[in-house]
Structure 1
Amino acid sequence: MITASQLRTARALLNIDQKTPAEMAGLSLPTIHRMEASQGNVRGVVDSLMKVINALNRAGVDLLSEHMRSDDGGRGVRFRHPDTLLGMPD
């Protein structure tokens, strides 16, 4: 599971507002707002969450779940080179 704070952190790494991941994932702005307002794990439709995760991955951010392989373990957010720029600022 992905936490709301991971989504907010991913946006901060990319220096984007909530509207940008909504557009990247083909979702509404209120959907992103609700996801980020969740307490703990993101609540909502799994398909919508996967769209956001995939869009952020394409932009260069990996969201690490609790059981995902990581050298140090635990949840997190990792910044890497984006697959595509998707109109992101330099």
Structure 2
Amino acid sequence: MLRCRDGSLYTGWSTDVERRLASHRTGNASKYTASRLPVELVYVAPLAHAAAARREEARIKSLDRAAKLALIASARRSPRWEDGT
């Protein structure tokens, strides 16, 4: 999940998070984030399969903003969270 300049949250999935983040940061990944640069990676959920990633993306997109912020906060408290990459 990305936090955009305007504070909005963007949710997506990728097989290569670093590549996708770089694309977002240059404005080449989506129209939504291109108009809201810069973006910051605030949540990552490593999953084994693309199908699981798509399901998790849909689940997160169905959450309200407060639940998304709680998810981000809980991940940041996790020892697995490094610097968001």
Q: Same fold (TM over 0.5)?
A: no
Q: What TM-score comes out, normalization by structure 1 length? A: 0.27
Q: What TM-score comes out, normalization by structure 2 length? A: 0.28
